[in-house]
Amino acid sequence: MPLRFRSEAIIFYLKTLKPPRAPTSGGQYHWVSEFAPASYQKSLSYAAGWMSSLGWIASISSSIYVLAAQIQAAINVTYPEYAFTNWQYTLMMLAFLIISILLNTWGATVLPMLESISLFGHLAGFIITLIPLWVLCSRNSAAAVFTEVVNNGGWSNTGTACLVSQTTVIYCLFGSDSIVHISEEAENASLNVPRAMWWSYLGNVLMGSIMLITMLFCIGNLDSVIDSDAPYLVLFTNTGSTAVALLLSVVLFILIFAGNITCLATASREIWAFSRDKGFPYSKWLSKMNHKWRVPFNSVYLTSLIGGIFCLINLGSTFGFNIIVSLYLLALLSTYIISIGCVLRKRILKEDLPPARWSLGRLGLPVNAFAFCYSFLVIVFSCFPTELPVGLDTANWAPAVWAGVLLIALAAYIMHGRSHYTPPVVFVEGRKAAGVGLQSTQETGITS
């Protein structure tokens, strides 16, 4: 686990290097357009824009599904046999989505306050959760926690089991680039954005490590946890108090709810930024900004609509919905690999990088190389099934859907992007490919 945290921390740190050079809501696709080889600036940044947009939209559906599961868990504290049907889950998901829409549009003025409250709530929730577990739960031995290895995934090799299971941990740590996509709304973004990303990550690694050790000591019998639909609920009920278990479930619900609001804000800004560069059809409508509220209403609505359609898949099959959720991991990892790979190439070839207020210095090349290789390793194991033997309902279909989306993006590029998309690098003097200018100049009235 410590090695895994270090590996992911290096990938994360690579993401903090780019906002100082290009603090923009576009994030990865913008960085790729600057750092990619001149002949590939347009096509690679277009692919990164599509993947980033897909990943963040999938994150909305994912987070509101977790919220609905939290309601189920809270009810199960007092009514263990009660279970929601798929349509009940879906209705709750849509209700949470509507609340997020309202807070991201007409309630946008209170968002900064909610974010500040959620920060202190996050710290308070950590303490509120930690103390009852250590005081009330019976504990496993230190030998069981630190020396015993349990492999219930069906994999014959423990190393393979660890490599496959790490994707779940990475899913929990993703989203650190969310602040990048609202960097145009931040003061002194080239310094404050990477600072916020870095220190929030360090703080959460510390708290996460403490909570992980606490969980392993207090989890009790692993068989009961594995057989449970909500393993964390087993941990909470180990306190022996229904009231405490319910309180801890509510605390977790509030924190995830706050994160869901941020997911929609991030996804809508990504869609808005990519549309501003004409990355999608109907980009002129999508890129409109409501200047009174300083919110891209149209982008919020379309993002929510697609996220809501993803939620409706849950009506027919939870399995089908889980495939969409898995795309979150694959799509965002794709953008990390492309952007880190472009920076790595420039370092290897000793090409100049733009000046930055946040830099790795001499460690840049080895850290870039490790982050790129580790990201590639993770994306490979993200395509593995989570357990053996593999059946129709346990197979990992996300890679097939991911490949399908790539084909759709390729078709969109050929039919639309090639003639309309304007890679952000065209606005950066001396960094664009020769002969590349603004697209659709008749629409914008701008010439390059």
Q: What is the pLDDT along the chain (448 residues), one digit of tens a residue?
A: 444 444 444 444 445 455 555 567 788 898 899 899 988 999 999 999 999 998 899 889 988 988 998 898 888 888 888 888 889 999 999 999 999 999 999 888 888 888 888 889 999 999 999 999 999 999 999 998 998 888 877 788 888 888 888 877 777 777 777 778 777 777 777 778 888 888 888 888 899 899 999 999 999 888 888 777 788 888 999 999 999 999 999 999 998 898 889 899 999 999 999 999 999 988 999 999 988 888 999 999 999 999 999 888 888 777 777 777 777 888 888 998 999 999 999 999 988 887 777 777 788 889 889 989 988 988 888 888 877 788 777 778 878 888 888 888 899 899 988 889 988 876 655 555 544 554 443 343 333 3
User: What is the spatial distance between Cα 55 and Cα 174, in angstroms, rounded to a whole number?
Assistant: 11
**In-domain check, residue 143:** no
Residues 20, 358 contacting (CB under 8 angstroms): yes
**In-domain check, residue 123:** no
CA distances from 61 to 256, 270, 300, 394, 422 (A): 13, 16, 14, 21, 29
pTM over 0.75: yes
**In-domain check, residue 223:** no
**In-domain check, residue 361:** yes
The closest of 247, 242, 224, 248 to 234, measured between CA atoms, is 224
Domain of residue 381: give its range: 2-111+161-179+260-444
**In-domain check, residue 249:** no
Q: 245-279 b/e with 16+ CB inside 10 Å = b?
A: bbbbbbbbbbbbbbbbbbbbbbbbbbbbbbbbbbb
User: What is the spatial distance between Cα 167 and Cα 386, in angstroms, rounded to a whole number?
Assistant: 9
User: What is the spatial distance between Cα 290 and Cα 250, in angstroms, rounded to a whole number?
Assistant: 35
Residues 393, 249 contacting (CB under 8 angstroms): no
CA 42 and chain centroid, separation: 24
pLDDT score for 291: 84
**In-domain check, residue 198:** no
User: What is the spatial distance between Cα 193 and Cα 177, in angstroms, rounded to a whole number?
Assistant: 9
- For residue 50 the two structure tokens come to 């599509």
Residue with tokens 């290897």: 348
Number of domains in the chain: 1
User: Rounded to 10 degrees, what is the CA torsion of 111, 116, 122, 124?
Assistant: -130
**In-domain check, residue 380:** yes
Question: Cis bond leading into 389, ω under 30°?
Answer: yes
For the chain, give percent helix, strand, coil, nearest 5: 75, 0, 25
Residue with tokens 């990619």: 36
pLDDT score for 405: 83
pLDDT score for 112: 81
Helix (H) or strand (E) holding 211: helix 189-218
**In-domain check, residue 292:** yes
Q: What is the number of other CB atoms lying within 10 angstroms of the CB of residue 106?
A: 12
